[in-house]
Amino acid sequence: MKDFFRRLKYYGLGFTIGAIMVVFMFDNKGCSWFPSNRVKDNLFNRMIVVNASSFDEIKEQGFTEAGFLKTVQAGKVDFGKSKKQGLDKVYRIDYETPKGKKKHCFMTMGDESFITEIIFSPKKAAKISPTNSDAELPGKILFIPKNEFLFYMDSSSVLIEKMKSIGIKNDKELNGLIRKNARFNFSRSQLTQHPKPVHCLQFNDSKRSKEMLNVTCIWYKDKIKVYDLTIETLDF
C-alpha cells in the first residue's frame, strides 16, 4: 500500500508539472480549450472592421494592419473588463505596441453578426453596438476569413439576373471583388436587429468607377448570404 501511495504521489507531481508547462508553452499558441483562445478563435472567424478614427489609432500606435491583427490575436482577453453575457458581447484585448507600450482595444461579438468591430473608446464599447461608429464614413475591413465561397447569392432568379446585369458572372467573382475592394457601410447596416442583423458592404471597381455597388447580406450557417444588390451613382 505504501508503494501505491508513493507512486500516486509521484504521478500527481509529474502531472502537475506537465500541466504547468503546457499552460506556459501553449497559452495563446493555438490550444483552443483555453477560454482566452476560444474567444479569439470566435472573433477571428468573423470579418474584422474598424471605423475611420479607430484605423487612425492603429496607425498612431505604430502598427501595420497585419502587425496589429497578429498582435491582437496573441493578446490577452481581460474577462473582468469584458461584457460576456447577452446576445451582443464585447471583449477587451490587452497587448503591447511595437514600442512596448501597454494598450488595449475592445472587439465586439454580436449574436448572428458576421463582423467584429475594433473599438478603442470604452464608452462606445460599453454600448456594444457598432452602429455608434462614424456612420457617414465607410469602415475599413482588416480581415476576412479564408473561404473562397464565403459570400453566396440568394437563389432568387431576380437577384441572379441583377448580378449578371451589373456584370458579375458568379459567386466566385463576387467573392473576389469583395475581398479586393469592399468597405463596410455602417449607415446602411442594422447590426442591432434580431434575430438576423443586416450588414451592408460597398465597393466599386475599374469597370464601374462612377458607381458604388451596395451588397446587403446576413450571416447564415457559417456563410454570408447576399440577398440584395443596389447601385448608386457617385457625384464626381
Q: What is the pLDDT of residues 20-35, one digit of tens each?
A: 554 444 444 455 568 8
Buried b (16+ CB within 10 A) or exposed e, 25-52: eeeeeeeeebebbebbeebbebbbbbbe
pLDDT tens digits, 75-95: 999 999 999 888 889 999 999
Read off the pTM. 0.80
Residue 22 has what pLDDT?
A: 47
Residue 207 has what pLDDT?
A: 65
- Give a yes or no: residue 1 inside a domain: no
Rounded Cα distance between 225 and 196, Å, is 11
Helices in 105-154 by DSSP H: which ranges? 122-127
Residues 117 and 165 in one domain: no
| Boundary-marking domain end, from 138, 170, 189 | 138
Q: What secondary structure does DSSP assign to 157-200, as a single string?
A: HHHHHHHHHHT--SHHHHHHHHHHH-EE-TTT-BTT-SSS-BEE
Residues 214 and 186 in one domain: yes
pLDDT tens digits, 132-160: 455 578 899 999 998 888 999 888 888 88
Residue pair 175/148 in contact by the 8 Å Cβ criterion = yes
| Boundary-marking domain end, from 84, 109, 138 | 138
- Give a yes or no: residue 22 inside a domain: no
Number of domains into which the chain is organized: 2
How do the pLDDT tens digits run along the chain, 236 residues long? 556 556 656 565 655 565 455 444 444 445 556 888 999 999 999 999 999 889 999 999 999 999 999 999 999 999 999 998 888 899 999 999 999 999 999 999 988 999 999 999 777 666 655 444 555 788 999 999 988 889 998 888 888 888 888 888 888 988 998 999 899 999 889 888 888 999 999 988 666 667 888 999 999 988 999 989 888 876 65
Residues 176 and 110 in one domain: no
- Give a yes or no: residue 43 inside a domain: yes
Residues 123 and 196 in one domain: no
Residues 64 and 115 in one domain: yes
- Give a yes or no: residue 30 inside a domain: no
Residue 26 has what pLDDT?
A: 47
| Boundary-marking domain end, from 138, 162, 190 | 138
- Give a yes or no: residue 15 inside a domain: no
Residues 95 and 176 in one domain: no
Containing 218, the helix (H) or strand (E) segment is strand 211-220
Residues 134 and 52 in one domain: yes
Residues 105 and 186 in one domain: no
Containing 141, the helix (H) or strand (E) segment is strand 140-143
Residue 131 has what pLDDT?
A: 47
How is residue 149 written as a grid cell? Answer: 465561397
- Give a yes or no: residue 73 inside a domain: yes
Range of the domain at 205: 151-233
Residue 236 has what pLDDT?
A: 52
Rounded Cα distance between 123 and 102, Å, is 19
Q: What CATH number is associated with residue 116?
A: 3.30.2310
Nearest alpha-carbon partner for 95 in 45, 36, 183:
36
Containing 56, the helix (H) or strand (E) segment is helix 52-60
